[in-house]
Amino acid sequence: MPDLVEPAVPAGRMGGRPQPCLSVDELTIRPWNARDAPVIVAAYADEDIQRWHARSLDRNEATIWAARWADRWRHETGADWAVTEGDTVLGRIGIRRLDLAEGFGEAAYWVLPAARGRAVAPRALTAVTDWMFTLGLHRMELTHSTRNTASCRVAEKAGYAYEGTMHGRGLHADGYHDMHLHARLHTPATVTRPPAV
Which positions from 119 through 138 interact with ligand COA, judged by CB under 6 A?
A: 119-122
Q: How far apart are CA 16 and CA 182, in angstroms?
A: 29
- Establish if 84 lies at the interface with ligand COA (CB under 6 A): no
Return the closest-CA partner of residue 13 out of 140, 104, 132.
132
Of 14 and 108, which has the nearer Cβ to ligand COA? 108
Q: Please work out the total of residues on this chain that contact ligand COA, with binding judged by CB under 6 A.
A: 21
- Establish if 150 lies at the interface with ligand COA (CB under 6 A): yes
* Segment near ligand COA (CB under 6 A); pick from 16-24, 29-37, 63-71, 151-159: 151-159
Alpha helix (H) residue ranges in the chain? 37-45, 47-53, 59-75, 120-135, 149-157
Of 104 and 160, which has the nearer Cβ to ligand COA? 160
Q: How far apart are CA 110 and CA 121, in angstroms?
A: 7
Closest residue by beta carbon to ligand COA: 117
Q: How far apart are CA 137 and CA 17, in angstroms?
A: 16
Three-state DSSP at 161 gives strand
Which positions from 37 through 56 interact with ligand COA, judged by CB under 6 A?
A: 48-49, 52
Instruction: Summarize as ranges the residues that interact with ligand COA (CB under 6 A).
Output: 48-49, 52, 109-111, 116-122, 144, 148-151, 153-154, 157
